Amino acid sequence: MPTPRRKIGHDPRVQFFRGFLKRPKEVGSIIPSSRFLERRVVRATGVDRARTVVELGPGTGGTTRALLRAMRPDATLLAIEINPRFVRMLENDIPDPRLRVHRGSAAEIDEALRAHELAAPDVVVSGIPFSTMPRELGSSIVDAAHEALGPGGRFVAYQVRDRVETLGSEVFGPAAVQTELLNVPPMRVYSWYKAHS
């Protein structure tokens, strides 16, 4: 029996494009991440060893699914999303008990962790477009990631432009940078470790 086709209105790519048209500064791209970028992000985060992971700006959940596939059975992924349409999609389309979806600002990581009774994350990963937001907001998000992470924790951001490298380096120090060319548009993956005190 043939698999029923997903209705166009429920297709994540269509929803992502609609999200971009409505709020381009929040979404930052016309199409979701490619599987090549998702794999590169997963490798950069090291989520296979993490107990708690925070994802900022999961959108329609492509990277979310890739992270969950790589995570341990006892780990938790807290996805913080500001767009209510994407929040509903994540809650309805990803029935994984390890996923917690929180509607709110990426600058309020500690509040989201407290709301879900989670400890300091091992990884914070972000796909939100730092280049299209005010610098002050970008700085507050990077500061929130640094504050939330435990010692030795990782902050990973995948971006088209390099503003996050400047913001992140002010807080974490120099970034490790990789480029994924098999993505439209090509993306840079920046990663940092939080120093042990």
For the chain, list the domains and their CATH numbers. 25-193 (3.40.50.150)
pLDDT score for 185: 87
pLDDT score for 95: 95
Write the burial class of residue 57 (CB in 10 Å: 0-12 exposed, 13-18 middle, 19+ buried): buried
pTM here is: 0.83
Contacts for 25 with CB less than 8 Å, ≥ 6 apart: 129, 132, 133
Q: Which residue has the higher pLDDT, 16 or 79?
A: 79
C-alpha torsion 160→164→165→170, nearest 10? 170
Alpha-carbon gap, residue 137 to 143, rounded angstroms: 10
pLDDT score for 17: 43
Q: Each residue of 131-148: pLDDT tens digit?
A: 999 999 999 999 999 999
Taking 70 as the threshold, does the pLDDT of residue 16 lie above it?
no
Q: Each residue of 144-156: pLDDT tens digit?
A: 999 999 999 999 9
pLDDT band at 39 (very low <50, low <70, confident <90, very high): very high
Alpha-carbon gap, residue 186 to 45, rounded angstroms: 19
pLDDT, mean over the chain: 88
Residue type, 72: R
